[in-house]
Amino acid sequence: MIIAVFPGQGSQTPGFLTPWLELEGARERLERYSELAEVDLVAAGTEWDADRIRDTQVAQPLIVAASLLSWHALDAATAIAPAGVAGHSVGEIAALVASGAISDDDGMRLVGIRGRAMAGAAAAEQTGMSAVLGGDQDAVVARLAELDLTPANYNGGGQIVAAGALGALQTLAAEPPASTRVIPLQVAGAFHTRFMASAVDTLRDAAGEVEVADPTLMLWTNRDGSTVTSGSTAVGYLVDQVASPVRWDLCMASFAERGVTGIIELSPAGTLTGLAKRALRGTPTVAVKTPDDLAAAAALLTGDHA
């Protein structure tokens, strides 16, 4: 079973969309996505610097747009589709589109609203996020609880992302759990925590206007790593997940249980295949960073890979 996965915020880099715009119809597609998300995604993906594309209301639609561009390019490159899909955090929107649960247009409208709402929630209080690498998971979670921090992302491979007040994150870095490294992340808010409650309300209102279908591909949820067969349930989970932890560790455990034999990460790729190499050792992966990587992804789907 070969599956496709879609990355979350922080995977974008300056200029990464430039080679994708050389594909036939890609610029026109991205211009349409720009109108839907209310962000100039062509400029953001080709011209804007790292600080400018780090802005939540830019980064989220930019990442989902790139994932969808590369997903459609992969579809054009091979007649064989992945058996299932999953997305990390905002990547879940791309996964829902790929699964057939929602349309491209609705996905891009939702991600534009999500990005603006989360940016607004983040501006209300001084919060942030830090990656905690290594250590014992229970000890790490206990230390976060002591500091009133939330384990916002369980990424697997010995990585948890802590989120909350900046002062508490500074204390965590100064006094980390045993055998860990704490790395501050360049994000402007405590995503996937109670600090995002207002964004959940905004996204729920927007999701109520979306036409939803049941997914035609196996679809995993960040909620608990389970598969979802109801489109309306998947959209509900997508909304709630804005203020709930990302359980990518449970998604990867579920991949293993389901017998996943290969993983293709769509653009901007690299983060999730990196986690899979640590947590799912021996599972073939392809990171589709540029159109040049489409051939390797198609070969994995068709069984022609080395």
Question: What residues act catalytically?
Answer: 89, 192
Alpha-carbon torsion, ordered 169, 278, 274, 230, to 10 deg: -90
DSSP code per residue over the chain: -EEEEE--TT---TTTTGGGGGSTTHHHHHHHHHHHHTS-HHHHHHT--HHHHHSHHHHHHHHHHHHHHHHHHHHHH-SPPPSEEEESTTHHHHHHHHHTSS-HHHHHHHHHHHHHHHHHHHHHS-EEEEEEEES-HHHHHHHHHHTT-EEEEEEETTEEEEEEEHHHHHHHHHSPPTTEEEEE-S-SS-TTSGGGHHHHHHHHHHHTTS-----SSEEB-TTTS-B---HHHHHHHHHHGGGS-EEHHHHHHHHHHTT--EEEEPSS-SHHHHHHHHHSTT--EEE--SGGGHHHHHHHHHT---
